[in-house]
Chains A and B, each alone.
Chain A
Amino acid sequence: MRLMKLPTRKGRVLVLRYIGAGVVTLLFLFPVYWLFMISFKTPDEIYHVPPLWMPGQIQFSNYYVLFKDGDVMAILNSLIVAGVSSAIAIILGTLCAYSLARFGTGGENLAMWIISQRMIPPIAVVFPIFLIYVYFGLVDGYFGLIVLYTAFNLPYVIWMMRGYIVDVPLELEESALVDGLNRWQVIWKVVFPMVRPGLMATSVFTFVFAWNDFLFALVLTRTEVITFPVMLTHYFGGQSNFWAKIAAMSVLGTLPIFVAVTVMQRYLVRGISLGAVKG
């Protein structure tokens, strides 16, 4: 009989690493697992002592209620404001970044000044913004939130995209210009394909910022454009906590981000690493 070969020291270290990584992964994934499980449980199962790892049977009534009561409109509102504001910020921000990178617009320090705007704590400006919005009648509307998130995301987009665009070899653009393309065509046909990973990564981050924002959405909305994070707070009453709704809504609210990150994963990793080496 042949004895099993003992792993080498290197092999043992690798096994330990995998075990460690597995434990950490389980630890981080546990809240997600618990969230999903609660969303399928009945009230009695949610409050069962000791806690139940799995519901007796998978049932979707907690989700059905969200659709029946119209609560999912909050997800749609979030999709609209986060999606539109991200798209606008990406388009405007990339053009600004191109101008900074290629024409040196504003001199050496403009880029730094722009990114510094992103460092303002939102709480410091939320009430002045609220007063301005009240004056212009922008409270509780899509337009107001889209403008705000675009404004907050623009510095980030400009800063990130400037770094990616600087990386694009100037010679490529010059060749394209010599071949007869105008500047817009160069941006569209040469620069955009080259910076696509960075563009995707930046889009995901801007979308996530707008999607997750609570403070501005809380202050600047009332009834018409309630976004997903604000909607969640509606389920916490002084004398009631709708855990089933909280869990189901949280799952629905997590899905768009999950899908976005999954779809763009390959761009995301590359985009982040590209940005990491350029300022």
Chain B
Amino acid sequence: MKFRTLLGVAAILALTGVSAPAADKDAADIAVEAAKKYAGTTISIVWEAGLQSLDPLNYSGPKWEKLTGIKVKVVEVPTDQMFTKIMQDFKSGAGAYDALNVIPSWMPDLAGAGALEPLDKYVDKFGYRDELQDIAAAYRDNQMQYDGKIFGFPDDGDVMLLYYRKDIFEDPKMKEGFKAKFGYELAPPKDWKQLDDIGQFITDKMAPKVYGAGFFRTAPYPQYMFQERFRMEGGKFFNADTMKSTVNSDVGLKVFKQMLAENKFMPPGVEQWNFVDNLAAFLQGTTAMTISWPPYGRWAAGYGSGEEALKWVPKSQVAGKVGYALTPLGRPELGVGFDLSVSATSKNKEAAYLFIQWLNSKKTSLERVQLPYTLRDPFRLSHYASEKYRALWPDAPAYLDTIKTSGEKGLLDLSLLQQDKYDEAMTKAISSLWAGEDPKTILDRMAQQFDAITEKVGIENQKAVYKVWAAKPGAYPQ
């Protein structure tokens, strides 16, 4: 053997020898190994109160402690107080929180204020960049960075899905009757007119036992539906040149009138329904269609029904009868979502980072999105493709495929400086709509409130943020 060949072989062996352990280690293992030096410390993480927090309380927190010796203290905060608590901690310099759950639309406020730690250096140091590529593009490209830097790891594949009762939609009598009346097949609605036709038809035939549809209507949920529908009908939130709000356009009026009219074929009192009321009605078989986040699909299939933590969910009467589809017009809202971030005032930044890398990693996140009681929805390509997940219930493949497609086509929540105030204006407007106020008056008032917020933030500042947001592929339908 020639010397050069020998040298080559030796080099290959050396390289394989050296790199083999590294190649074997995934981001979760790397995080665990690196975190062991912090054994004995305690890190805190802000998590949404309620069911969400059972993940770190019952599963990931104890597991992380077992693997690394780092104790995780979970600070449970109701969603509507999370932003305030995080900012309050940052402004006071208390440094009480190490890791955070952050709603992506808050990113301009939080990252802009310096409340979040830039994560790029940690991502490189702990070899996480490759695994980030596995996160579905809708979340990775839109919800991870601010001003070109990584401030959070998308950790929840929130997207709206349409759920419908297959047994009703496939009933020969219903199909025949529907086609005779409307001239097209009874199938998941492709647009809002079809949803009206189908909803009214089922209500006429089956109410009060089953109504055509039921949606959540109380704050803050319907504003996500409004954002989606408004844009899909051609609406723009602002004039990009002047930053004057244009929500009170004819499109806004059309959407408001449509939303109001739909209530007529929904169960009485639907205006007061929140997430759980709507869920209960669908699981008990009272409504034939609904639109909501992915947990509805899992729970409707009866997944996790034996879990102690899910005892508050009524038993599904519709398991095996639920179909999944894109929302009408085919571009569902990527409503809310969660990012995992590190607080800029944390005293344990690296330990906090390692915890969120481990949580968010391919391996750990796949386990977490399969926990029946957590509300983390699949958000990685590997989640959608997971054979284990696809075998969880008979319709799980269709469920995962619909989530994947919905995510790819999803529309982003509006995300500006002081976004919480715009959200509040939308929420109040929709409440006024259910209360019976004139839609045009409500929209004019909402536009005025938008303008007032924009002026307070500074028109030029907001224009710059809006420009960045509006340029994203998921901001407005192309």
A interface residue numbers (CB < 8 A to B):
43-44, 46-47, 49, 61, 127, 130-131, 134, 139-140, 218-219, 222-223, 233-245
Contacts and interface: CB of A to CB of B under 8 A. Distances in A.
A223 B56 CA distance: 14
A234 B57 CA distance: 13
A242 B312 contact: yes
B83 interface: no
Contact of A236 (B49, B74, B295): B49
A159 B92 CA distance: 35
Most interface-central of B50, B53, B311, B336 (chain A CB within 10 A): B50
Given A47-B284, A234-B78, A245-B312, A127 B88 contact: yes
B49 A235 contact: yes
Contact of A240 (B51, B76, B281): B51
Contacts of A127: 88
Interface string B65-104: 0000000011110110100000010001110100000000
B375 interface: yes
Given A43-B313, A222-B75, A131 B52 contact: no
22 contacts: A43-B314, A43-B315, A47-B277, A139-B96, A140-B96, A222-B96, A223-B44, A223-B73, A236-B49, A237-B50, A237-B51, A237-B53, A238-B50, A238-B79, A238-B375, A239-B293, A240-B50, A240-B375, A241-B274, A241-B276, A241-B312, A242-B51
A131 B336 contact: no
A57 to B, nearest CB: 16
Given A43-B313, A234-B49, A240-B275, 5 more contacts: A43-B315, A130-B88, A222-B96, A239-B50, A242-B51
B79 A237 contact: yes
B340 to A, nearest CB: 16
A131 B267 CA distance: 49
A49 B275 CA distance: 16
Contacts of A134: 92-94
A139 B94 contact: yes
Contact of B50 (A44, A49, A234): A234
B50 A242 contact: yes
A276 to B, nearest CB: 39
Contacts of A242: 50-51, 312
Nearest to B52: A237
B76 A234 contact: yes
B274 to A, nearest CB: 7
Contacts of B295: 239
A61 B52 CA distance: 22
A237 B315 CA distance: 19
Contacts of A49: 267, 281, 284, 286
Interface in B29-54: 44, 48-53
Nearest to A68: B308
Nearest to B313: A43
B280 interface: yes
A127 B276 CA distance: 33
A232 to B, nearest CB: 10
Interface of B: 44, 48-53, 73-76, 78-79, 81, 88, 92-94, 96, 267, 274-277, 280-281, 284, 286, 293, 295, 311-315, 336, 375
A233 B295 CA distance: 21
A236 B50 contact: yes
B314 A131 contact: no
A235 B50 contact: yes
B51 A239 contact: yes
A244 B73 CA distance: 25
Contact of A243 (B52, B73, B275, B312): B312
Contact of B78 (A131, A233, A239): A233
A49 B270 CA distance: 13
A130 B51 contact: no
A116 B315 CA distance: 55
Contacts of A219: 88
A131 B90 CA distance: 11
A130 to B, nearest CB: 6
Contacts of A243: 276, 312
Contacts of B293: 239
A239 B375 contact: yes
Contacts of A222: 44, 75, 96
Nearest to B82: A238
Contacts of A43: 311-315
Contacts of B312: 43, 240-245
Contacts of A240: 50-52, 275-276, 312, 375
Contacts of A140: 96
A237 B314 contact: no
A46 B293 CA distance: 22
Contacts of B92: 130-131, 134
Contact of A237 (B49, B73, B280, B313): B49
Contacts of B53: 234, 237
B51 A233 contact: no
B96 A236 contact: no
Contacts of A131: 92
A132 B276 CA distance: 40
A66 B146 CA distance: 41
9 closest cross-chain pairs (CB), A and B: A237-B50, A240-B51, A47-B280, A234-B49, A238-B79, A240-B50, A134-B94, A241-B276, A134-B92
